[in-house]
Chain A
């Protein structure tokens, strides 16, 4: 059988979603951002809401998200994505509005915006990519950098005595009454990719039901910032990031999940 006999519509099992453009991604090879873009846009396609979705790109490696996502988008100032999303959503309550933010964006400069948006129960979806570092600016320490973890501004490892503790933003905002759904996922293995996608889908469905804020944290790698190969970075993430940032649901349907 030659390849042309195989390429037929009825044999098609998988293709890139129409909600992504065919621009080459600007992310480092092996970086989780690309996969997260894909699943977010697959969800938009599967829910059939491309026409009704407005995305908010933030500042960080994903600043150009609007080049890759084939939907209307507004690019926001560093940290202000959820405020920009609030402005959009209040004016268009029936549109699906989401932000796509890194940890520097959401958990450092944008802490106030994040907490108050969740506390108001703004009916939006927050996709929060936590790679424990500032990727775009060259690997500086983030609020999410682990104790002992090296970065260009903590070259001997994060010393919590001097530099403070890492912050678990998703647990923090899960405490707020306006947060309806808070979950932590990853995309380093196919099974996890599937789970992360289900979480994003749930977060968008919550918007349709006007339930309040949904936040999907995705613990991801930054192989460049961590100065590792992609494979090493995923292994390091499993061994070091997941114990500190455990995967799983934190709040579902407005109820905190109690772990046995």
Chain B
């Protein structure tokens, strides 16, 4: 068994990044995720592994530092919360366009605008549908525990590098701030000698120069580039879907929820079952690629789906697409930093049943 620790979700991300052999972190403080950089600063990762740590002057600068580092083949990451992630969208779009790997943590808070520092899931659209300009997607992982915050750092880096695409951990203020037991994975070596044909490392005599860019003024070539990206996303949708089914085997109704909302729904499932209502919980772990096939399969044998989110109804659109009209799909959400209780979810199940 690996080392066991009691940690905040944000700290687990920071520790996991050092252990995953990250080369660099660039960030800018924002609640509720500032512990990521604070923990790193305390740990002095430059002494532990040689990892670079720098507080940038803004989220825009931070993501562009990540862009620069990633263009040289380094394992770089950043973290922020909703308004900061909005600022990072320019750089994220550039990285998707230039096909660069990186990891981005979004510890979501209530919005829009400055909103509140309380947890929310209202950045679902922004995370899964592109977010910045252009036709692109991120690989989006949704942890529901501090353990997953740690594990998804490693997974996120691996997927980002495998597909040369930015990956995002879409967390929220609950998972970022709560403390839980976490089993840490072993320290991995930094991949400093990493050298693939796309990385700008200085043109040696025996090779052509390399350029990292998202620009092509020729629309014919740009269209081809876009089609290549779409092919890549197709592969990701085929190979990288992750989800968890809790008591779905005999379920007649399915709650669909991710992250902290899924934790609450787990309790709501218990309450419903005590009343004899056969409810199961479907927890998407990857929000992009969305587990549409698995939900489509369930739709063939259950009576309905209730998407439970800390938003006005964002993921429910993907659930509806997956269910494709076979059975009713409804939504229950709390907004602006408010969190639903298991009892409220149970009420929502009741309402759904009478409809």
Contact = CB atoms under 8 A, between A and B. Distances in A.
Contacts of A64: 215, 217
Contacts of A89: 68
A226 to B, nearest CB: 24
B279 interface: no
Interface stretch (B55-63, B113-121, B175-183, B219-227): B55-63
A17 interface: no
B252 interface: no
Interface string A59-75: 00001101001111111
Nearest to B58: A112
A88 B188 CA distance: 22
How big is the A interface, by class? 35 or more
A252 interface: no
Contact of B202 (A54, A66, A87): A54
Interface stretch (A77-85, A208-216, A237-245): A77-85
Contact of A84 (B58, B65, B210, B215): B65
Contacts of B70: 87
Interface string B70-85: 1110101000000000
A65 B84 CA distance: 31
Interface stretch (A45-53, A138-146, A154-162): A45-53
Contacts of B205: 51
Contacts of B299: none
Given A51-B205, A72-B200, 8 more contacts: A71-B202, A73-B212, A75-B215, A77-B90, A80-B67, A87-B68, A112-B60, A116-B56
A89 B54 CA distance: 12
Give the dominant DSSP class at B's interface: mixed
Contacts of A50: 202-203
16 contacts: A66-B213, A72-B200, A72-B201, A72-B203, A73-B210, A75-B211, A76-B67, A76-B68, A77-B90, A80-B64, A83-B56, A86-B65, A89-B68, A91-B52, A95-B201, A95-B202
Given A53-B202, A72-B200, A77-B90, A86 B213 contact: no
A88 B52 CA distance: 11
A54 B214 CA distance: 17
A52 B24 contact: no
Contacts of B57: 112-113, 116
Contacts of B94: 76-77
A80 B213 CA distance: 14
Given A80-B91, A87-B69, A73 B64 contact: no
B24 A54 contact: no
B16 interface: no
B72 A54 contact: yes
Contacts of B62: 83
Contacts of B161: none
B66 interface: yes
Interface of A: 21, 50-54, 56-57, 63-64, 66, 69-77, 80, 83-92, 95, 112-113, 116
Given A72-B200, A86-B54, A77 B91 contact: yes
Contacts, number: 133
Interface of B: 23-24, 26, 52, 54, 56-58, 60-62, 64-72, 74, 76, 90-91, 94, 98, 200-205, 209-215, 217
Nearest to B62: A83
A197 B103 CA distance: 40
B202 A83 contact: no
Given A72-B209, A72-B211, A73-B211, A83 B203 contact: no
A4 B303 CA distance: 89
A90 B69 contact: yes
B212 A74 contact: yes
Pick the 5 closest A-B CB pairs, nearest first.
A87-B68, A87-B65, A83-B64, A75-B213, A84-B68
B92 to A, nearest CB: 10
Nearest to A95: B202
B61 A113 contact: yes
A190 B57 CA distance: 40
A147 B201 CA distance: 43
A88 B69 contact: yes
B65 A90 contact: yes
A116 B56 CA distance: 8
Contacts of B68: 56, 74, 76, 83-89, 91
Contacts of B69: 87-88, 90-91
Contacts of B209: 21, 66, 69-73
A92 B54 CA distance: 14
A72 B209 CA distance: 5
A162 B57 CA distance: 30
A198 B24 CA distance: 34
A90 B64 CA distance: 13
B67 A91 contact: no
Nearest to B61: A83
Contacts of B54: 86, 90
A242 B23 CA distance: 45
Contacts of A63: 215
Contacts of A70: 203, 209
A72 B73 CA distance: 13
A91 B56 contact: no
